[in-house]
Structure 1
Amino acid sequence: MAVQATTKIKVLVVDDHPVVRVGISTIIDTQADMTVVAETGSGEEAISLFREHLPDLTVMDLRLERMSGVACIRKIRKEFPEARFVVLTTYRGDEDIHQALQAGAVGYLIKGMPRQLLLDALRRVHAGDRFLPPSVTEALASRKPDGELSPREHQVLLLLARGKSNKEIASALGIAEVTVKCHLSMIFLRLNVTDRTQAIIAAAQRGLVHL
């Protein structure tokens, strides 16, 4: 009696580093139950390739050309709400993880983790589960509810990380310098720091800014 062929899990790989992208694709293509249908380093091209191939899963880096991985996930899921994403990135901050999950990712891995973890994540997510290894869960659990910045505070923080003075921040945002000082006080409070340098370091660790 003939053995019925098993349909392979179709995977789209999105990573801006060609060598990393090829490595991920090779790992996946060696599996009997998976196949890479397309790969790209561009968020914009990822959207087009998703429409063309309709993959079962997408492996998504967060740092891409011209469009962040989070923005790419949001755009694809707006058009294809059932799309499933496993993030594979160097970003390990709680805010990075939170934003990716909010966008619709159901798996989150840090580059450098064992290859078997990626394969386990893909199979689990394809089966309908969420996949967050312990280190990712711990980082997410460290996120304080009162530590979330407002959109304006985040704008101030981004300019602060670029080395802008209070006067320059005020000019860029069209607000008074005293208002900038108020925002900075709240940012320091939310990040549990006491000065500008500590704020930038803490923000980078959490993924609120990328230096």
Structure 2
Amino acid sequence: MPDNTKHDATLPIRVLIADDHQLLLDGIGSLLSSFPGVELVGQASDGHQVVEKFTALQPDITLMDLQMPGLSGIEAIAAIRATYPLARIIVLTTYKGDAQVLRAIAAGASGYMLKSSLRHELLTAIQNVHAGRRHFTPEVEAEMTRYASADVLSNRELEVLQLVAQGNSNRATGTLLSIKEETVKAHMSTILAKLGAKDRTHAVTIALRRGILDA
């Protein structure tokens, strides 16, 4: 893949968009057309398609939705970066939860923006990431700072919380995970402490808001 750090300033920044909503694809495409020095080179509507389009088009910047059919945005980012480690990808999403952001960064994203901020922030984000810098919407940065020192749930605690979120009792959760009900209760106590939650319902609410659990 070309080294974007040596991009010819006389050439437009080539952008690929991935989102499963055609209206949003059209809206972002229209917005990009108003930006000087930016060129829309392709669109994709699912995770597999964006990986294929990236390979074919070799864009400078990819704008990636998180919630897509086929491969999720996180999976698509990881797949692209595994083959093209210099790929520069900006997540566009409605989710500002810190856990989602950290997963995106771990997968290889260089930026994370809320869709509500596109009109006044997208060009700056594209320019920053293209120049080798990271870009995060201020609300996202605030969320990350707020939970920077928060304890991370273990894989088992995540499994317990996911089953509780689905409406399972402690006994049912234990049966599904082949562990004792008392062990489930112990895990729930730890989960409540780590999330700063008052009860099971509050824990699920916090986990959904932070992106620890998918809505």
TM-score computed with the length of structure 1 as normaliser: 0.92
Percent of aligned pairs with the same amino acid: 38
Q: Does 1:174 align with 2:192?
A: no
Q: CA deviation at 1:80?
A: 0.8
Whole-angstrom distance in 2 between the partners of 1:56 and 1:154: 36
Whole-angstrom distance in 2 between the partners of 1:51 and 1:158: 35
Whole-angstrom distance in 1 between the partners of 2:39 and 2:146: 36
Q: How many residues align?
A: 208
Change in Cα spacing, 1:146 to 1:120, as seen in structure 2 (3 Å) is closer
What per-residue deviation string (whole Å, max 9, x for no partner) do you get for residues 34-55 of structure 1? 1121111201111111111111
Change in Cα spacing, 1:114 to 1:24, as seen in structure 2 (3 Å) is closer
Name 1:133's counterpart in structure 2: 137
Contact 2:114 2:137 in 1 (8 A): no
Name 1:103's counterpart in structure 2: 107
Q: Does 1:15 align with 2:12?
A: no
Q: CA deviation at 1:134?
A: 2.1
Whole-angstrom distance in 1 between the partners of 2:72 and 2:41: 22
Whole-angstrom distance in 2 between the partners of 1:20 and 1:53: 21
What per-residue deviation string (whole Å, max 9, x for no partner) do you get for residues 121-143 of structure 1? 00111011111232211111011
Change in Cα spacing, 1:124 to 1:64, as seen in structure 2 (3 Å) is same
Whole-angstrom distance in 1 between the partners of 2:29 and 2:190: 44
Q: CA deviation at 1:194?
A: 2.4
Q: Does 1:196 align with 2:200?
A: yes
What per-residue deviation string (whole Å, max 9, x for no partner) do you get for residues 138-188 of structure 1? 111011434211111111111111112222222222222222111111111
What per-residue deviation string (whole Å, max 9, x for no partner) do you get for residues 7-61 of structure 1? 2111110111110111111211232311121111201111111111111111011
Whole-angstrom distance in 2 between the partners of 1:186 and 1:206: 17
Matching of residues 68-107 of structure 1 within 5 Å: 68-107=72-111
Tell which deviates more after alignment, 131-140 or 170-179. 170-179
Aligned to 2:162, the other structure's residue is in SS state: helix
Q: Does 1:49 align with 2:64?
A: no
TM-score computed with the length of structure 2 as normaliser: 0.91
Whole-angstrom distance in 2 between the partners of 1:76 and 1:151: 26
Whole-angstrom distance in 1 between the partners of 2:109 and 2:186: 35
What per-residue deviation string (whole Å, max 9, x for no partner) do you get for residues 97-143 of structure 1? 11111211111111111513011100111011111232211111011
Whole-angstrom distance in 2 between the partners of 1:127 and 1:32: 16
Change in Cα spacing, 1:144 to 1:181, as seen in structure 2 (3 Å) is farther
Whole-angstrom distance in 2 between the partners of 1:83 and 1:42: 18
Matching of residues 147-186 of structure 1 within 5 Å: 147-186=151-190
Q: Could you list the runs of 5+ residues in structure 1 that have no partner in the other structure?
A: none
Contact 1:95 1:143 in 2 (8 A): no
Whole-angstrom distance in 1 between the partners of 2:25 and 2:118: 16
Whole-angstrom distance in 1 between the partners of 2:172 and 2:55: 43
Whole-angstrom distance in 2 between the partners of 1:64 and 1:183: 32
